Structure 1
Amino acid sequence: MQTLIDFDNAPVFAIPARDGYRGFTGCEGMLLEGPQGWGEFSPPDGIADLRSARYLTAAIEAGTVGWPDPMRGRVPVAVAVPAVEPALAARIAGTGGCRTADVRVACGPESLRGDIARLEAVRDALGPGGVIRCDAGGAWDVETAVAVIAELDKAAGGLEFVEQPCASLEAVAEVRRRVSVPVAVDESIRLAADPFSLALTEAADIAVLTVTALGGVRRAMRMAETCGLSCVVAAEPDSSVGLAGGLALAGALPDLTHDCGLGTAAVLTGDLVSPGRSLIPVDGHLPVAPMPPAPDRDRLAEFAVGDPARVVRWRELLRIVQELI
């Protein structure tokens, strides 16, 4: 399967996050072209072992064998609300027609007051029928999480769930035993050496599934089948080429009980595809496509990495990861 991919000419790109969008990083990686189309290889910094191999197999899957047949043509998504001031948070929450907001919290040691104000503003923007959940990115210890979650739940007028309150799965499990708000795990799955070996049912209520980190749509579907939890499909801030894999998973799952955390393209300053193909929610939904969108030549040139050292670093990482699969 590897020989079908054009590894040697894979372009290296970098798309920054919008200024001030705390809680979100930019997207840097490579695009790989195969006979089925394009895949995105963009593992986060610091991941260079077998976990990086999962990001590569996800890109190879998209470019070669493609994805399972979908059960639905579009999926409901949540708007991503960074750790910004309340007025901007309200404006972001009101874009795209989404009924659900993923709100970033815990981006600093003194962030609680700002987090509360942000959640209140998002609730005002969505109205009483909107759904709000928040992502702490593993920032809290157990005691802080227990105290803070109650305040954030009140500010939001009810949280659907709180995502990754603590860094370790053991700490998340302790928080879950002590709060009434459902608890989701994300980094505990994405960063695990073997996600399929995790005992999740006693630690969390919801599993957040990211296609690229799990190794592709089919592996993510197997995780959904075996983890024993309700699942939310989500993505890191990928380009629309990478986001398409998350939509493929959401389209193929038999049950889709939560809006998908796939409304992340807008946190980046641009995209690698033409504006008409960029995966920005409309009427709260995104389309499920049989293959990723192809990059636009002008957009790819705009976000091409020009620093030779960074290009060499990515090509060396690709070489190393190819040897792992």
Structure 2
Amino acid sequence: MHEQYPTPPGPVSLPSLEEVSAAARVVSIPMRVKFRGVLVREALLIEGPAGWGEFCPFLEYDDAESAPWLASAIEAAWHGFPAAHRTSVPVNATVPAVGPAPVKSVLARFGEVGAVKVKVAERGQTLADDVERVAEVRRLLPHAGIKVDANGGWDVREALVALEALGRFDLQYVEQPVPDIAGLREVRLELRRRGDRTLVAADESVRRQEDPLRVAREDAADLLVIKAAPLGGVRRALDIVRRAGLPVVVSSALDTSVGIGAGVALAAALPELPFACGLATVSRMADDVTDESLVPVDGALPVREVRVSEERLRLLAAPEDRVEWWSRRLERTYAVLAGS
């Protein structure tokens, strides 16, 4: 019988910088479509005694914000993951901010799924665009759970107007409708006052906050969207979930199958998993570091080890100048992590 959560993490047990650096490989993987302005995704992979870890904070993140990502990679490579409660993890399809016409082909890439996350509040688009997109998803998948993700793109007034318009599609939840915690709470309370049952999920307000529990303390969300790497690894993320006391959805941060493996391990270790997770993202990349990518089958990802291919690492190796850039970043971030 598993304990509900593993023992909360103590101080980070770090291998030496020399060990980490010697085990590091940098890859550069083309994207199928631009995401967050990224056309090529770079990542530093680390092989340790427990397997492979992935260090891939976005390029604009400073060393302090990158430190939890390195802790997550070291956890995976040197310590492995906690025991799992399940052998597979349900995942949702993701529909980007496209017009209604491409929605069918986008959904087809995911195969059979029971849930879909739809991007809304895209800069330069209108609420009418969002309504058309969500309406097409609902038409094609009349019984699927639909969630919308605004990435903090609305203010409170815009969020309430948008959710009233989108409410007829029976949304499971809205993810990060506004950028700040006070705004999240205001939206949530107003929805309840109106009798609207749409749940409010916090994403950026958890993973990019110095205090990831603040959103729970202030009753600003009904559930949390969490990622393993920005929270410092699977065990620390599980401890945050335990203390928050809210349902969670696990999502990814544009990872190779190695990084997705950490997300799957996190989802598998949760005692309860009420919603499909946002981990079906490897297909956004044109290649991968393994010959057996973590992609969904019948709407779920298997809980298994990811075996990295030496041949794929060789073919995807980053140019020398980028390897040097990531090596310097690793050294700086390790110094931050070691001093924390």
What SS is found at the alignment partner of 1:237? coil
1:179-194 equivalences under 5 Å are: 179=191, 180=196, 181-194=198-211
Give the match for residue 4 of structure 2: none
Selected match of 2:117 from 74, 80, 102: 102
Distance in 1 (CA, whole Å) between partners of 2:295 and 2:273 is: 20
Identity within the alignment, %: 38
What is the identity, as a one-letter code, of the residue corresponding to 1:55?
Answer: W
1:245-264 equivalences under 5 Å are: 245-264=262-281
Displacement of 1:59 in angstroms is 0.4
What is the identity, as a one-letter code, of the residue corresponding to 1:147?
Answer: V
Count of residues paired in the alignment: 317
Change (3 A) 1:91 1:41: same
Tell me if the contact between 1:72 and 1:251 (Cα under 8 Å) persists in the aligned partners. Answer: yes
Give the match for residue 269 of structure 1: 286
Structure 2: 5+ residue stretches without partners = 1-13
Distance in 2 (CA, whole Å) between partners of 1:92 and 1:305 is: 29
Structure 1: 5+ residue stretches without partners = none
What SS is found at the alignment partner of 1:222? helix
1:323 matched to 2:338? The reply is no
Distance in 1 (CA, whole Å) between partners of 2:329 and 2:36 is: 27
Selected match of 2:170 from 148, 158, 176: 158
1:1-325 equivalences under 5 Å are: 1-3=14-16, 5-8=19-22, 10-19=24-33, 27-94=41-108, 95-127=110-142, 129-154=143-168, 157-179=169-191, 180=196, 181-274=198-291, 277-289=292-304, 291=305, 293-306=306-319, 308=321, 310-325=322-337
Distance in 1 (CA, whole Å) between partners of 2:137 and 2:89 is: 22
Deviates more, 1:67-76 or 1:311-320: 311-320
Change (3 A) 1:182 1:190: same
Displacement of 1:280 in angstroms is 1.2
Distance in 2 (CA, whole Å) between partners of 1:102 and 1:26 is: 23
What is the identity, as a one-letter code, of the residue corresponding to 1:295?
Answer: V
Change (3 A) 1:5 1:114: farther
Distance in 2 (CA, whole Å) between partners of 1:206 and 1:313 is: 37
What SS is found at the alignment partner of 2:21? coil
Change (3 A) 1:142 1:48: same
Tell me if the contact between 1:201 and 1:227 (Cα under 8 Å) persists in the aligned partners. Answer: no
Q: Alpha-carbon deviations, 1:32-86, whole Å to 9, x = none?
A: 1101111000012322233211100100010011001111111111112222232
Tell me if the contact between 1:80 and 1:267 (Cα under 8 Å) persists in the aligned partners. Answer: no
Distance in 1 (CA, whole Å) between partners of 2:184 and 2:296 is: 31
What SS is found at the alignment partner of 1:121? helix
Distance in 2 (CA, whole Å) between partners of 1:22 and 1:126 is: 27
Tell me if the contact between 2:201 and 2:222 (Cα under 8 Å) persists in the aligned partners. Answer: yes
Change (3 A) 1:115 1:301: farther
Change (3 A) 1:18 1:111: farther
Change (3 A) 1:83 1:5: farther
RMSD of aligned Cα (Å): 2.0
Distance in 1 (CA, whole Å) between partners of 2:211 and 2:268 is: 25
Please report the TM-score for the alignment, with normalisation by the length of structure 1.
0.91
